[in-house]
Amino acid sequence: MDLSSLLKPRAVKVLTDVTSKKRLMQSISALAHDLIELPEGQIFDALQERESLGPTGVGHGVALPHARLPELTEVHGAFFRLEKPVDFDAADKQPVDLVFALFAPADTGVDHLKALALVSRTLRDAGLRAKLRANSDAATLHTLLTEYATSKAA
């Protein structure tokens, strides 16, 4: 599994108008609707249900919201860079501006966990986070993410 198979170029967005965690989840749900063709409300509810178990803000301004959806047959990802960080109830109390959302089939355990681990390892790199924060072009963000993961796997 690699990021280029999880993250399609059209699944990378820079958000300029998000002002809260709820609005962010709505934006994630809207993009995911276009990617996986499920109702926005269903995606939003699945994300919120997972968040109710514990916040997915992992620290250093990064969040990894994720949801399992029974209709899916493979894992999909979406990346968002926020112009204005939002409070995400992260463990380190830092607001979030880099968000990698994952959507997995309900019955997949290993693939979902592998995808979470891959994304977590990738976004743990402080240099990569700095490059992502310094760019506002979605194509550049996609390239940074997928080339970083590929270069580390080689």
Annotated catalytic residues are: 66
Q: Which of 34, 43, 28 is nearest to 10 (CA)?
A: 34
Question: 4-20: b or e for each residue (b if 16 or more CB lie within 10 Å)?
Answer: eebbeeebbbebeebee
Contact 86, 34 (CB under 8 A): no
What are the tokens at 150?
């590929």
Contacts of 116 (CB under 8 A, 6+ apart): 64, 66, 102
